[in-house]
Amino acid sequence: MEQLLNTLYVMTQGAYVRLDHETLKVEVEGSTQVQVPLHHLGGIICLGNVLISPGVIHACADDGRFIVMLDHVGRFKARVVGPTTGNVLLRRAQHKALDDSQKTLAIARNLVAGKIRNARTIVLRGAREAEEKEDEAGLRETANRLACSLSHLERSTAIEEVRGIEGEAARTYFSSFARLIRADRAAFTPKGRTRRPPRDRINALLSFLYALVLTDCLAAAEGVGLDPQVGYLHTLRPGRPALALDLMEEFRTVLADRVALTLVNRRQITPDHFEERPGGSVYLNDSGRREVAVAYQKRKQETVTHPLLERAEPLGMMPHIQARLLARTLRGDLPEYPPFTYR
Amino acid sequence: MEDEDYTIAGFEPVFLSALEHYSYCPRQCALIHVEQTFDENIYTLRGRAVHQRVHEVDSFSEEGVRVEHSLALWSNRLGLVGQADLVEFHEGVPYPVEYKYGKYRERDIEHAAVQLGGQAICLEEMTGIAVPKGAVYCHNSHRRYEITITSELRSKVQAITAAVRAMLLAGELPPPANDKRCRNCSLNAVCMPSAIGDGSKARSLVAGLFRL
Ligand code: SF4
């Protein structure tokens, strides 16, 4: 937790990841393409057809480094975990809080407040940078509506209400997302929010980024000994990492949306980075995914001041810090869950 | 850990290492032994690698002194369990040596002494031979500090063992010390002493969340 270790993304199809003493080697067609000391890595994410040796798997499991396997479009498939460790008392507290409607409400409400504030920050920034008067006005209007949601949230008394406000705020925010896009609008205007599968370029871009953020939030939850399936804002459903999704809410705009907008507005991502499949689903292609993963890694290295710690830390550390603060709240060490917000 | 380790004399066993942690800061002890929040960065991993070498179970003799590495220790009387990095037997009299890695500061020896005192009590119970002395060895300065196992140290061991046990049973985390101990504490990043504080910072941050 002291330092943000790099994540190694292995995206070359047919690559073989193996261990040579303490050094990780990525080989493609028999020749070494990448060589990194294992201790520089926090974990490894493999996309698609990537082979990984038992030596690497054992070493990572021993030291608590994560290995995550995604399919070729970035959908989560599997992860390698070592023996169950950590704090059973914490996991008990996690379950107990779920049975306590006041605790559930308090956590969910603060999570959503963090999410709405961060969404509002991005919208206001867009308004300042807007080139058209109409966009600026539209974005300011959205910011006002998000401010309204925030004050409704303060008065909410039930979890269903919190979920309703969250949904409404998300629709408001997303409906003006197109106004945040300044380059090649014709190619990048979203047709609403489409997820499974994404049906336009912006949604393809966001889906891929959200998969990366979710992976980091999962690792953060696991890292502090929380059960990633037991969440508060997201209802429990077998197979759903509800807590990782909860944690992710504060980070969607900060870690994913901002990266997507920067890539598009700086024309680092162009329509050439996408492919359309028969029937209308749209995905990033190989070079597109590479571009996005690099930008995402860079974004994680930017430092911001944490609102509670009052200390500059890389953005990539924030999910870990938040997971720890949530664990602390559940264990009664903190009176309230303080979400991550940024200016 | 085998099952029987959990039922020594019918009470919750206390790890010898927990004595030093508690003596330094009760919260540090709880973070490690209750919350199990270890933060292994590369330095502690490296420390562990050195440690593993000391911890390879073996024994050898030189010049009449028999040396045991990684000797399992226990005391049924106090309900202590653990391991000694090294125990020398000087003409049959046990002399425990506790290894410390990293930047170990002389003023922290008093806390290591509690752990050493616990080891001495275990060795006495195990061998039936009085253990008058032991040592703390600092790996980076190659210095050995000899510790006399006084009756004060023995009562301190007993009191701290009881306090640790109570804490383990309650399963609670004491509030942060938030004083000069925190500066050199390896768990600072996990503990977040000033951010947690008495909770008032988090409270006001949350109160401000809904206002723009
Ligand atoms: S940081 Fe301070 S309060 Fe926290 S465990 Fe260390 S010494 Fe104790």
Best residue among B21, B27, B194 to mutate for probing ligand 1's pocket (most ligand atoms within 8 Å of CB) is: B27
CA-angle at A212, arms to A312 and A160, nearest 5°: 85
Residues of A in contact with B40 (CB under 8 A): 63-64
Residue-level pLDDT at A47: 87
Q: What is the mean pLDDT of chain B?
A: 84
Ligand 1 centroid distance, CA of B177 (Å): 6
Give the residue with greater pLDDT, B161 vs A74.
Answer: B161
The answer to whether residues A117 and A144 touch, using CB atoms and an 8 Å cutoff, is: no
Question: Chain A contact for B177, CB < 8 A?
Answer: no
For residue A181, give every residue at least 6 positions away whose Cβ sits within 8 Å of its Cβ, in sequence order, or none. A188, A189, A202, A261, A264, A265
Residues of B in contact with A334 (CB under 8 A): 196, 199, 202
Q: Does A113 contact B199 at a Cβ distance shorter than 8 Å?
A: no
pLDDT of B55 over the 60 cut: no
User: Residue range A61-85: average pLDDT?
Assistant: 78
Rounded CA separation A121/A115 (Å): 10
Q: Does B195 contact A309 at a Cβ distance shorter than 8 Å?
A: yes
What tens digit of pLDDT does each residue of A195-252 get?
Answer: 778 888 999 999 999 999 999 999 889 888 899 999 999 988 888 899 999 999 999 9
Question: Chain B contact for A62, CB < 8 A?
Answer: no
For residue A53, give every residue at least 6 positions away whose Cβ sits within 8 Å of its Cβ, in sequence order, or none. A16, A17, A18, A19
For residue A332, give every residue at least 6 positions away whose Cβ sits within 8 Å of its Cβ, in sequence order, or none. A93, B172, B173
The answer to whether residues B63 and B147 touch, using CB atoms and an 8 Å cutoff, is: no
User: Residue range A313-328: average pLDDT?
Assistant: 92
User: Residue range A59-82: average pLDDT?
Assistant: 81
Beta bridge partners of A77: none
The secondary structure of residue A177, as a DSSP letter, is: G
The secondary structure of residue B171, as a DSSP letter, is: T
Element housing A97 (H / E): helix A88-98
Contacts 24+ apart (CB under 8 A), A257-260: A257/A122, A257/A177, A257/A206, A257/A209, A258/A122, A258/A299, A259/A209, A259/A292, A259/A295, A259/A296, A259/A299, A260/A202, A260/A205, A260/A206, A260/A209
Residue-level pLDDT at B5: 46
Residue-level pLDDT at B41: 40
Supply A167's token pair. Answer: 């949904």
pLDDT of B131 over the 90 cut: yes
What tens digit of pLDDT does each residue of B141-163 get?
Answer: 888 999 999 999 999 999 999 99
Instruction: Using pLDDT thresholds of 50, 70 and 90, give the confidence band for residue A108.
Output: very high
Residue-level pLDDT at B44: 42
Mutation pick from B1, B12, B27, B37 vs chain A, by most beta carbons of A within 10 Å, is B37
Rounded CA separation A318/B206 (Å): 17
Q: Does B45 contact A63 at a Cβ distance shorter than 8 Å?
A: yes
What tens digit of pLDDT does each residue of A119-161 get?
Answer: 999 999 999 998 888 889 999 999 999 999 999 999 999 999 9
Residue-level pLDDT at B58: 56
Contacts 24+ apart (CB under 8 A), A191-199: A197/A277, A197/A281, A197/A282, A197/A283, A198/A281, A198/A282, A198/A283, A199/A280, A199/A281, A199/A282
Within A224-277, where are the H helices?
Answer: 242-249, 258-265
Q: Does A335 contact B196 at a Cβ distance shorter than 8 Å?
A: no
Question: Chain B contact for A115, CB < 8 A?
Answer: no
Virtual CA dihedral for A197, A267, A270, A11, nearest 10 degrees? Answer: -70
Among chain B residues, the shortest Cα distance to A84 is held by B36
User: Residues with beta carbon inside 6 Å of ligand 1?
Assistant: B 25, 27-28, 31, 176-177, 181-182, 185, 187-188, 191, 193
Residue type, A130: A
pLDDT of B174 over the 90 cut: yes
pLDDT of B115 over the 90 cut: yes
CA-angle at A253, arms to A212 and A145, nearest 5°: 150
Rounded CA separation B29/B189 (Å): 15
Rounded CA separation A5/B41 (Å): 10
Residue-level pLDDT at A38: 87
Residue-level pLDDT at A84: 59
Give the residue with greater pLDDT, B23 vs A85.
Answer: B23
CA-angle at B167, arms to B165 and B168, nearest 5°: 65
Question: Chain B contact for A92, CB < 8 A?
Answer: no
